[in-house]
Amino acid sequence: MPAAPILIEATRGDLVESRHTGSAIAVDVQGKVVAAWGDPEQPVFGRSAIKPLQALPLVESGAAERFGLGDAELSIACGSHGGEPEHVRVVEAWLTRLGLSAADLECGSHLPVYEPAAHAMLRAAQAPGNAHNNCSGKHTGMLSHVVHLGEPTRGYIRPDHPAQLRVRAALEGMTGLNLSMAPRGIDGCGLPQYGMPLRAMAHAMARFADPAQLPAERRAAVLRIRAAIAAAPFYLAGTGRFCTDLIQATQGRVLIKTGAEGVYVAILPEQGLGVAMKIDDGGARPRAVAFGAILRRLGALDAAAWAALQSHVAPLLHNHAGTRVGAVRVGPGWLDA
């Protein structure tokens, strides 16, 4: 196993206080490795980073067309939204179209990730509902093909439910893996997760970037999902989030998606590449800095985009009094490897 490089350092004063190691890989649609760091063969859970793959049955089943889904719905189906009022409004209106409500979502509830929305709810003594869950768009997407195909809505998150069998088939088709013997887990929102190498995740995203060799139905679904994310990135994440800000800064030429435990993927249509990264300690702090550096190294971010993303890719650390105390920066040497 190659040694995982120190991707990111966090400084405080004159000292490097913390170091974050990780692995990453970029491949083309043929699976050829363009760049790699660390151990891209390690099995990881893709978590929310693979939501664009999980959304394929929503389009392929005909549910998206039947329910008249637009860019906002398809983007939020791939998203980890912040629970801002507009996010919740879109999810609840979509559920109404299905003849369902937030009570039918089996993702559970939590306060909005977007702090101003969470603070507003706390001030108003309002409890969060299932639609505030950052994965509620993905779950509503799955319920859409369940309703469209006349299947039971209860238990749609179980691994043996037809909805999850369709999702697993989409994952296998895009990664080229047989997941029957893969490590398994349960995501934070209750859905099945399958361990897969970073290389396979990156290859799936390369097929998203260059779908010419996919069957016609899947190619059409990929292009529709890509177009929706590019057109409506607010619904993929939200205000001040790296995914949304980067897609906006590149005018949809670069699509990225984060996942819990330090995972990120990118779809680079202009280069026909897919990228996947895992921060070993699962921390959120180093993710955007490391992934931004990788995308810049691959030539995916021009000077204007890089300048617009400085608060994400070169953040400064301040204490509670507002005094600058350090920075989060790229570790030495690894990008040149």
- Domain positions in the chain are 6-336
Query: Is the pLDDT assigned to residue 337 strictly greater than 80?
Result: no
| Range with the poorest average pLDDT among 4-8, 37-41, 285-289 | 4-8
pTM: 0.96
Distance separating alpha carbons of residues 185 and 176, to the nearest angstrom: 20
Given a contact cutoff of 8 angstroms between Cβ atoms, the answer to whether 236 and 261 are in contact is no
CATH number, domain 6-336: 3.40.710
CA angle centred on 191, ends 187 and 195, rounded to 5°: 60
Mean pLDDT rounded to a whole number for the chain: 97
Distance separating alpha carbons of residues 135 and 237, to the nearest angstrom: 10
Query: Is the pLDDT assigned to residue 336 strictly greater than 90?
Result: no
* pLDDT > 90 fraction of the chain, expressed in percent and rounded: 96
Mean per-residue pLDDT, 142-146 = 98
pLDDT digits (tens, 9 = 90+) for 204-220: 999 999 999 999 999 99
How far, in Å, are 61, 74, 119, 194, 257 from residue 328 at the CA level? 44, 34, 27, 31, 21
pLDDT of residue 2: 59
Q: Return the residue matching tokens 């890089």.
A: 306
Given a contact cutoff of 8 angstroms between Cβ atoms, the answer to whether 144 and 119 are in contact is no
Query: Is the pLDDT assigned to residue 73 strictly greater than 60?
Result: yes
Given a contact cutoff of 8 angstroms between Cβ atoms, the answer to whether 55 and 223 are in contact is no
Query: Is the pLDDT assigned to residue 4 strictly greater than 90?
Result: no
pLDDT of residue 225: 98
